Amino acid sequence: MIPAPFEYYRPREMAAVLALLAEHGDEARVMAGGHSLIPMMKLRMAEVPHLIDLQDVEGLSGITVSGGEIRLGAMVTQAEIIDSKELAQAAPILREAALQIADPQVRAMGTVGGNVANGDPGNDMPGLMQCLGARFTLVGPEGEREVAARDFYEAAYMTERDDDEVLTAVAFAVPEGGYAYEKQKRKIGDYATAAAAVQIRREGASCAAASIAMTNLSDTPVWSEAAAEALVGTELGPEAIEAAVTAMLAEIDPSEDNRGPVEFKRHAAVVILRRAIARAWSRA
Amino acid sequence: MPDKMHVKLTVNGEAQEFLAEPRELLIYALRERLNLTGPHVGCDTSHCGACTVIVDGKTVKSCTLFVAQANGAEITTIEGLGSPDDLSPLQRAFREHHGLQCGFCTPGMITRATKLLEENPTPTEEEVRFGMAGNLCRCTGYQNIVKSILAAAAEINAAKEAAE
Ligand SMILES: Cc1cc2nc3c(=O)[nH]c(=O)nc-3n(C[C@H](O)[C@H](O)[C@H](O)COP(=O)(O)OP(=O)(O)OC[C@H]3O[C@@H](n4cnc5c(N)ncnc54)[C@H](O)[C@@H]3O)c2cc1C
Ligand code: FES
Ligand code: FES
């Protein structure tokens, strides 16, 4: 499969990227690891007459943990997330999730920025970032702005990012308490049939705070405030968990595809969320 | 039609230069321009790993990389890992332990496994399976591939110990 021809650019500075985006409008697109974009270009489902490779652009790399905050440059790869000792300590849910994405070769190329900017409901990082309450930094002709991950996703492949903006970083507070990223997939390397990201903070015998987000069960990730609230203040007995699951089910809207019919996906969502809550609680 | 670009690569230690359209995929540049037909095109959809090569120290699927992205990079293919009279430990182990049948997946398997053993010289069976998850084989059922990689790891480690 051969993609349509394109003009290729590999600038070193963000100013040059923004100038190219301004000049070519929706005929131009940035490329990070290319492991979502290139397959789409090969299938000719995406046509990109002007392709801007971000690999040499300064300021997009690096993982920093300081002052209770974690910052991932947009070009940090899934492999780098897995290998970061600092991150494994500060936010182990990231490593747990990244290990469930694709396979080693894909993780060597796929970036966190591409994963969250892509807007594919199957991507794992958007739900994860909603669970963590992350913020995305966007830079465009009018300067920089931050958008909450929970406000970023509008519909499949439609995000709050304007065509002339580039996502430069993902940032969030060091999460507290227990965590779990649970994913049901047909085989290793597959996108989720259902996935859940859960963080739970425990005080004494009861749950003091919780955050729950579901992946690939709607055309955007689903951060379910109601599901989390059902757990807060309880000791996570069967009733509280049942209430959380019911709240989650009211918010997801899966569609039938080659991963199964709607009823099956709702069933998988329940199983996955129960597992994720139990594991996060056991680590809290 | 966009212009062709001047591409420079170092492949298996040799400098290579040619003109190519940026959309050319690395696997075709390797196979059709440089006659390195070890890396194969299996699925052409980033799944099977038959096209795996090492680019600047990373194992990547070369069907999912434009030659433009690789411009300036150092690349190693299966041809750079050993030769018929000087097989690498992994190549020897695959031969001895029947780690291949038709051989189609083998260059990608051995290239990926080379990197895996660099990252983790003493993998468990489970780590081998997880680390090789991006490479599919239609013939062997994987048992003998895993066996070959574990045997090669043991041989490499024994040789290292003997040298110390
Ligand atoms: C076989 C296979 C299996 C996979 N399985 C999974 C999986 O299970 N879970 C999962 O989450 N992903 C999966 N992926 C996708 C993989 O993780 C992608 O690499 C990732 O989604 C996109 O990252 P990228 O860096 O490759 O982005 P690219 O492909 O380069 O870009 C994707 C999109 O985002 C845009 N973009 C990229 N970077 C930026 C930026 N900084 N600012 C603005 N826009 C940007 C691009 O213009 C493009 O539209 C899989 C991919 C493959 C090939
Ligand atoms: S041919 Fe590249 S992954 Fe199958
Ligand atoms: S030996 Fe035939 S595909 Fe692996």
Cβ contact (<8 Å) for A39 and B45?
yes
pLDDT grade for B1, boundaries at 50, 70 and 90: low
Predicted confidence (pLDDT) per residue in A38-50, tens digit: 999 999 999 999 9
Q: Which among A168, A163, A183, A4 is positioned nearest to A101, based on CA atoms?
A: A183
Predicted confidence (pLDDT) per residue in A104-150, tens digit: 999 999 999 999 999 999 999 999 999 999 999 999 999 999 999 99
Residues of A within 8 A of B59 (CB-CB) are 104-105, 108
State the ligand closest to the CA atom of B48: 2
Q: Are strands A50-53 and A7-9 parallel, antiparallel or unpaired?
A: parallel
Give the CATH number of domain B5-80.
3.10.20.30
- Ligand 1 neighbour A102 (Cβ under 6 A): yes
> Final residue of a domain: which of A144, A173, A202?
A173
pLDDT grade for A188, boundaries at 50, 70 and 90: confident
- Structural domain boundaries enclosing A26: 7-53
pLDDT at B65 > cutoff 90:
yes
User: DSSP characters for chain B?
Assistant: -PPPEEEEEEETTEEEEEEE-TTSBHHHIIIIIS---SS--SSSSSSS-TTEEEETTEEEEGGGSBHHHHTT-EEE-GGGT-BTTB--HHHHHHHHTT--SS-SSHHHHHHHHHHHHHH-SS--HHHHHHHTTT---SSS-SHHHHHHHHHHHHHHHHHHHHH-
pLDDT > 90 fraction of chain A, expressed in percent and rounded: 99
Residue-averaged pLDDT of chain B = 97
| Amino acid B119: pLDDT | 96
Q: Does the residue A1 lie in any domain?
A: no
**Ligand 3 centroid – CA B145 distance (Å):** 10
Two structure tokens written together for A207? 């749950």
**Ligand 1 centroid – CA A79 distance (Å):** 13
**Ligand 3 centroid – CA B40 distance (Å):** 12
* Contact in structure between A175 and A132 (CB atoms under 8 Å): yes
pLDDT at B123 > cutoff 80:
yes
> Final residue of a domain: which of A112, A145, A173?
A173
pLDDT at B33 > cutoff 70:
yes
Looking at the complex, report in whole angstroms how far the Cα of residue B162 sits from the nearest Cα belonging to chain A.
30
Q: Where in chain B is the domain with CATH 3.10.20.30?
A: 5-80
Residues A165 and A150 in one domain: yes
Q: How many helices (H) and strands (E) does chain A have?
A: 12, 14
Q: What is the mean pLDDT of residues A170-191?
A: 96
CATH (domain of A269) = 3.30.390.50
**Ligand 2 centroid – CA B108 distance (Å):** 9
Residues of B within 8 A of A1 (CB-CB) are 44-45
- Ligand 1 neighbour A164 (Cβ under 6 A): no
- Ligand 2 neighbour B107 (Cβ under 6 A): no
Atom of ligand 1 nearest to the CA of B47: 1
Looking at the complex, report in whole angstroms how far the Cα of residue A81 sits from the nearest Cα belonging to chain B.
15
Among protein residues, the one with the nearest Cα to ligand 1's atom 31 is: A114
**Ligand 1 centroid – CA A37 distance (Å):** 7
CATH (domain of A107) = 3.30.465.10
Alpha-carbon distance of A64 to A45, in angstroms, equals 36
Q: Edge-to-edge, what's the strand order for the sheet holding A28-31?
A: A7-9, A50-53, A28-31
Among protein residues, the one with the nearest Cα to ligand 2's atom 3 is: B46
Cβ contact (<8 Å) for A6 and B46?
no
Q: Does the residue A13 lie in any domain?
A: yes
Q: For A177, phi and psi rounded to 5 degrees?
A: 90, -160
- Note if the pTM is more than 0.80: yes
Alpha-carbon distance of B17 to A36, in angstroms, equals 28
Nearest CA in chain B to A11: B69
Residues A202 and A215 in one domain: yes
Q: What is the mean pLDDT of residues A203-214?
A: 98
Nearest CA in chain B to A32: B69
Residues of A within 8 A of B131 (CB-CB) are 104
Class for domain B89-163, per CATH?
mainly alpha
Residues A184 and A169 in one domain: no
Q: Does the residue A142 lie in any domain?
A: yes
Q: Does the residue A58 lie in any domain?
A: no
Residues of A within 8 A of B21 (CB-CB) are 5
Looking at the complex, report in whole angstroms how far the Cα of residue A33 sits from the nearest Cα belonging to chain B.
9
Say how many Å lie between the first and final Cα of chain B, rounded: 58
Cβ contact (<8 Å) for A109 and B68?
no
Looking at the complex, report in whole angstroms how far the Cα of residue A103 sits from the nearest Cα belonging to chain B.
5
pLDDT > 70 fraction of chain A, expressed in percent and rounded: 100
Atom of ligand 2 nearest to the CA of B52: 2
| Amino acid A5: pLDDT | 96
- Ligand 1 neighbour A117 (Cβ under 6 A): yes
**How many independent structural domains does chain A possess?**
3
Predicted confidence (pLDDT) per residue in A58-95, tens digit: 999 999 999 999 999 999 999 999 999 999 999 999 99
Cβ contact (<8 Å) for B133 and A2?
no
The angle, 0 to 180 degrees and rounded to 10, between the axes of the packed helices A262-283 and A238-251 is 140
